[in-house]
Amino acid sequence: MKRFSYTSLLVALLGLAHTGCKKGLDLTPLDKLSDASFFQTANDFKLFANQYYGWLKNFTTLDGILDNPHSDTRSDLFGGGGAFGSGTNTVPTTESNSGNAGNWVVDYTRIYATNYLLTKAAAYKTPADIAQFVAEAHFFRAYVYFDLLEQYGGVPLVQSLLTPNSPQLYGPRSTRDSIVNFIIADLQAAIPNLPASIANTSTDYGRVTAMAAQAFLGRVALYEGTWQEFRSGSTSRIDSLLDMSAAASNAVISSGQYALFGTAASNALGGNSTILGDSAQKYMFVLEDVKSNPAGIVKSANHEYLLATRYDATLKITGQNITHSQNTGMNRKIADMYLCTDGLPIEKSPLFQGYSTFLSEYQNRDNRMRYTMVVPYGYYWKGNANYRVDWVGGTLDKKDAIGPIIPTGYGHQKWATERQCPDRSESEDYPVIRYAEVLLNYAEAVFERNGAISDADLNKSLNLVRLRINTDNGMPPLTNAFVAANGLDMRTEIRRERAIELFDEDFRLDDIKRWHSAATDLVSNVGGIAYDNAAAFVSPWPVSIEWTGTQYQNGPNAYKAGSTLPKDANGCIITDQTGRQWTEKNYLYPIPAQQIALNPALTQNPGW
C-alpha cells in the first residue's frame, strides 16, 4: 500500500476530466488517453488542464449543501458549528469516516495531476505554445497546497512526478514556511504567463488570468502573514508577507479590470448594473442569463468575479437545491454585526430599535442586512418555487410567494433565486475570487502591516464595499476620525466588514483560525465568555432570536413553540448545547490515522 493513495493514480489519472459549459470554458471530457500519443500538441495540454477547473469551490462544496473543511457552518455565524466549531471533533481513521474533516487524499491526487502536466511540459518542443497551461498547473498546484496548509499546516512537499516506489512517498512533513514559500513561488511563476484578461465572449472565458493569480497571492500572503502575526512569528517575515499581500491586491485594484457590481465603475466596464439600485448585491449572487432580476441584467454585466465556477441554465445547471438549502441556520451574532445607518454598532447607536418586535432589529440598519437575511413578518419570501411573475413587487409577485413569514429564528437568502425554475436547476456562477474580497484583503493587509490605515487607503478599498448599497441611507464612510470620535476599534471594524460581506462564502472559520481568535469568536457574543487557564473555553452557547419578553413570546403570531426550547439568561433561544472544548490543537485538523500508519515519518499535528 502506497503513501498518499497513489496506487490508483497511475491507472486512473488520465481518465480524470471535468465536463464544463461550452458557452464559456470549453472543457472537453478525456475518457481515454494514451500517454504515448497525448501531449503532442498545445491543445493536448489545454485539454489536460481542463480537469483542474473542477477543483474550484462550487455549489457542491458550499456549506449548507455539503459540509466541507472550510465551511461557514463550522463557524460562529451559524448555529454553533457542530463538533468542528466547538472543538469536539476527533482524529478520523480515514477521510471516509471523518465527517468530511479534510481533503488529504483528494489534494495529493490533484497535486499528482499538476506535476504530471509539468513533467510532460518539460519535454515539449515549443514551450511558448504551452506557457499558459503550464502557468495554470502552477496556479492550481498552489491552490491545492493552500487548501492543505489551511487544514493541516506543514505537509509533505511533492514537487515532481512520483511513482509508487519513490522514496519521497515515505518522507516527513515539510515546514509551514516551506509550504508557504512553495505556494508563493508557484503563483509568481504563473502570473507572467497567464493572460492579462479574457473577454467574456471568448470560449476561454473562465480560465485563470494573471489578475486572478495576483488576487489569490494576496489571499495567501494575508492568511500566512496574520497567522504568524498572532502567534508571535518573525517580524521580518510577517512584514514581508503583509507587504506582498497589499502589493498583490493593489495590482488588481490598479488594473482597472474589475469593479463592484451595482456601481458606476462597473457600468463603465459594461452593463448597467446600477439600475438595480440597493438590491444590486443581492441579485449579483443569483445572476443568471435567463431573467433573474427586475432589470433583466445578465452575467456579462458582472465585473466583480475574478474567478468563478461557471454554470448555465441549459448546459450546466448547479444540480444542488440551492434556494431551499440556504435560508436557515444563521446565528444572532451575525445579525448583531450589521451596523446602524449612522455607521455605529448596535450597542452604540441611538438608532437601534431593539428586539421587542419581529421587525424592530431590522430597522435603520446596513442595507446588506435586509438583502442577505430573510426579514420576518410582512416580508414575502420569493424563491424558485414561489417565484416572481412581473418583478414589480405587486399583487402578481406576491401571488405565489410565501408570506408573511412568522419567524422561528434567523435565516438568509444569499444564493436564493427568485425566478421560476425546478429545484436543483439554478445556474448562477459561484465566486471563487471576487473583487470585494480583494478590496478587503488590501485594507486588512495595510492595517496589520502598519498598525494603522489612512483614510485614502480605506476609501480605495473597504469603503467601496461598505457603501456599495448604502449610498442613500446616510451610512458614513469608515474614517480614522469616525473611529476616534466614537470609541471604535479599527481592527474590529475591518473584520466586521469582512464577516458581513463574505458571509456564507466559506471564509469565516479560516479567518478565525488565522487571527488566533477562537477563544472569543467561536462562542456566542451574548452573555460573555467563560475562559479557563487551560486555554479552553466553555459555554455560553450560540443563540438565535431573543424570545423572552418580545413579540416572539407575546402578541400576534407569537412563536409559541419557543416556550419549550432552552434559553440563555437573556431569553435567547439556544441553538447548540455542544460542550465547547476548543484548545490550541483545534486550529489545525488532525491527519487521518491511516495516513500516519502508512508513513511513520508523517507525524500527527500537535495535541492530536
Residue 248: closest CA among 432, 431, 439, 430: 439
Residues paired with 530 in a beta bridge: 538
CA 411, CA 374: separation in Å to the nearest integer?
A: 5
Grid coordinates representing 160 are 515532481
Residue 526 has what pLDDT?
34
Q: Are 403 and 381 in contact (CB under 8 A)?
A: yes
Residue 200 has what pLDDT?
87
In one-letter notation, the amino acid at residue 344 is L
CA atoms within 13 A on the CB side of 164: 9
Residue 433: closest CA among 239, 187, 235, 228: 187
Grid coordinates representing 385 are 418555487
CA 111, CA 108: separation in Å to the nearest integer?
A: 5
Residue 96 has what pLDDT?
66
CA 264, CA 273: separation in Å to the nearest integer?
A: 8
Residue 311 has what pLDDT?
96
**Which strand (E) or helix (H) includes residue 446?**
helix 435-450
Residue 12 has what pLDDT?
31
Residue 566: closest CA among 5, 15, 80, 18: 80
Residue 404 has what pLDDT?
77
Residue 569 has what pLDDT?
86
pTM of the model: 0.93
Residue 577 has what pLDDT?
80
The torsion angles phi and psi of 476, rounded to 5 degrees, stand at -85, 160
Residue 255 has what pLDDT?
98
Grid coordinates representing 570 are 437573556
Q: What are the Cα distances from residue 555, in Å, to 408, 548, 568? A: 15, 12, 21
Residue 523 has what pLDDT?
63
Helix ranges, 36-96 (H): 42-49, 82-86
Report the CATH number of the 1-68+103-194 domain: 1.25.40.890
CA 455, CA 115: separation in Å to the nearest integer?
A: 45
The series of mean pLDDT values per 10 residues for the chain, 608 residues long, is 35 33 39 71 98 94 69 87 87 71 87 97 97 98 98 96 87 97 98 95 95 99 98 96 98 98 98 97 97 97 97 94 78 95 98 96 97 89 93 92 84 94 96 98 99 98 98 96 98 98 96 94 49 41 90 91 91 85 93 93 96
Q: What is the pLDDT of residues 496-543, one digit of tens each?
A: 999 999 999 999 999 999 999 998 888 644 333 333 333 444 445 788
